[in-house]
Amino acid sequence: MVKTQKKKPNQIDRLLVIACGMIAREVLAVKQQLKLDHLELTCLPAEFHFYPDRIAPAMDKAIEKAKAEGYKHIFVGYADCGTGGLLDRVIEKHGVERMAGPHCFAFYQGMDAYAKVADDDMMSFYMTDFLCRQFEAFFIKPLGLDRHPELIKDYFGNYEKLIYLAQTDDPELDKVAEKAAALLGLAYERRSTGYGDLTGELAHAAAGA
């Protein structure tokens, strides 16, 4: 008996996630965890975290490119992320969906859980696994803190606490977060969030593809 080889799905059959580079590792982890073989990932630069005005126009172009390549199922791996509603205009234009919430710090904790702590966390500086891995590249060097540590008070003086939202249990990342809190002169708290709402939202998006 000859086995029939399954056809490799083309773009029409696949779900393309266009995500922030800051959550690329996590999207791929969820893909593997849920065995979402038809999910594909492309990312916009993680540095847009500092330039939210660039997100919406870049996403507009990325979705147009994906549609031109034949993708029918597209999911935006961003929350609002400081775009002030501009990203929502883009997704409405293209008829796609995005992650719920104001930012990744919210959906990692889960929107229900975040709603309960948002007010209390108002003066807190959030870190994630990505930001722990990239602390030097994303904060120390761009802000010049390696050359001018006296600027720490200018940048972080209004914060009271550093909260590490941990997607994984990695002692090395814990050390980075603890050292960052000490460097910035902030109280420290660790919250084990896992992937939060990212898992459910990707599963839902994949089910529709």
pLDDT tens by residue, the chain, 209 residues:
434 334 445 677 899 999 999 999 999 999 999 999 999 999 999 999 999 999 999 999 999 999 999 999 999 999 999 999 999 999 999 999 999 999 999 999 999 999 999 999 999 999 999 999 999 999 999 889 989 999 999 999 999 999 999 999 999 999 999 999 999 999 999 999 999 999 999 999 999 87
pLDDT, tens digit, 9 for 90 and up, residues 148-183: 999 999 999 999 999 999 999 999 999 999 999 999
Dist. CA 148–CA 13, nearest whole Å = 52
Give the global pTM. 0.91
CB 65 within 8 Å of CB 38: no
187-192, strands of its sheet edge to edge:
124-127, 161-166, 187-192
pLDDT of residue 18: 98
Concatenated DSSP letters of 56-110:
HHHHHHHHHHHHHTT--EEEEE---TTSTTHHHHHHHHHT-EE-SSSSHHHHHH-
Tell me the one-letter amino acid at 25: R
